[in-house]
Amino acid sequence: MFNKKNSLILLASIGLLSFTISCSNDDNAHASTTTPEIVPPGVPVLSEHIWLSTEAFDNNKNLFDLNNSPVSTYSGYTYYKPDGTFRVVDANNQTKLFGTWSLIENNTKKQLAIYKSNNTINPDENIYNIEADKIFDIVALNNSLFTYRINDDTNPGKYYDLVNRVDNHAEPKTPAEVLATVNWKTVKAINLNTGVELNLNDHPATVNSGNSYFINLNSNAYFPKNKDGNYVNGNFTISSFTDKNEIVKYGDWYVSLDGKLLTTYLKNPQGEFEGIRKAVIVELNENKFVFEENINGEIIRFEQVPL
């Protein structure tokens, strides 16, 4: 029998359906909305998804080119990791921006500490400095849409709303993952001061010549540190060409997230720390590894290929 109780149940169901449809429509709200749609505090929406910048609007709601500054700095595929680190890669899977992130003020703002690699071979220099600390107003944030506001530092009062939507673009390997994917052998060493190719069995070529094994102990973590507070991806061994047990060099290693600097923490056979070395990476992919190191005032370029 259709009684008063059934009527109340029907009305409640209709109300629930209306609410569901409304929420669904909100997920696809126009990017330039001025009323923030914010997820509840503590919901890790950003780190649960891959985000692709799809369009941007200026403060007059005009479409703005993603390749133009300042929007171009932040546009691309963005990966927000649960540990509070992030990176942005371009369409060629090259890292263009990275650092740490957080949501603040009840999820109404995004804060970024943007890192910059020093890319210096001076062992006393930090691998990273904080280039900028930015806070962005969040315009919309839900499980399909993330829009935040970029202020134009060169034109006060002007801003751009950058629209990001959920995408399935798999995160490319970090430079550290690429390096550790392959075991390497040295095939060439060139003294860049003189332009002369060196004999791999003679000093200074022997410093890095041999078969290299880089073990990644931290997966795709961006800024892993060891107990001493050093950035470390894992450990490495360089052995002679003919005998894996004949160790040329041993220690820990780290590749900067932009793939431009290799830092090694050298150890003696007893595992005791002996010093820090830095090398500028010229080329790194799964088919070739080229780097330059200052050895006693001379810049030596080493070329390695898969073993």
Q: Judge if 129 and 40 occupy the same domain.
A: yes
**pLDDT by residue (tens digit) across 109-138?**
999 999 999 888 888 889 999 999 999 999
- Give the residue, 17 or 148, on which the prediction is more confident: 148
Residue 222 in any domain: the answer is: yes
Mean pLDDT of 13-25: 37
Q: With 50 as the cut, is the pLDDT of residue 33 above it?
A: no
| Omega cis (within 30) before 70 | yes
Q: Which residue has the tokens 């790194």?
A: 284
CA distance 241 to 239: 6
12 φ, ψ (degrees, to nearest 5): -65, -40
Of the candidates 293, 304, 118, which has an alpha carbon nearest to the alpha carbon of residue 192?
293
**pLDDT by residue (tens digit) across 145-166?**
999 999 999 998 899 999 999 9
Which residue type sits at 166? V
Instruction: Give the pLDDT of residue 25.
Output: 40
Give the domain CATH number at 74: 2.40.128.540
Q: Judge if 152 and 245 occupy the same domain.
A: no
| Omega cis (within 30) before 269 | no
Antiparallel, parallel or unpaired: β 196-197 and 234-239: unpaired
User: For residue 301, what are the domain limits?
Assistant: 175-306
Residue 235 in any domain: the answer is: yes
Q: Judge if 186 and 218 occupy the same domain.
A: yes
Instruction: Give the pLDDT of residue 41.
Output: 55
Q: Which residues contact 203 (CB under 8 A, 6 or more apart)?
A: none
Instruction: Give the pLDDT of residue 38.
Output: 57
Start-to-end CA distance of the chain, whole Å, equals 80
Residue 247 in any domain: the answer is: yes
| Domain C-terminal end among 141, 167, 193 | 167
Q: With 50 as the cut, is the pLDDT of residue 305 above it?
A: yes
Q: Judge if 126 and 239 occupy the same domain.
A: no
Residue 101 in any domain: the answer is: yes
pTM for the whole structure: 0.85
Q: With 60 as the cut, is the pLDDT of residue 279 above it?
A: yes
Mean pLDDT of 159-175: 98
Q: With 50 as the cut, is the pLDDT of residue 238 above it?
A: yes
**pLDDT by residue (tens digit) across 46-78?**
999 999 999 999 999 999 999 999 999 999 999
Mean pLDDT of 162-174: 98
Tokens of 127: 């691998």
| Domain C-terminal end among 167, 190, 223 | 167
| Domain C-terminal end among 167, 200, 216 | 167
**Could you tell me the pLDDT band of residue 31, with boundaries at 50, 70 and 90?**
very low
Mean pLDDT of 22-38: 43
CA distance 222 to 253: 13
Q: With 60 as the cut, is the pLDDT of residue 106 above it?
A: yes
Instruction: Give the pLDDT of residue 24.
Output: 37
Helix boundaries (H) for 28-141: 45-48
231, 233, 235, 240 alpha-carbon torsion, rounded to 10°: -110
Residue 3 in any domain: the answer is: no
- Based on the structure, what is the number of domains in the chain? 2
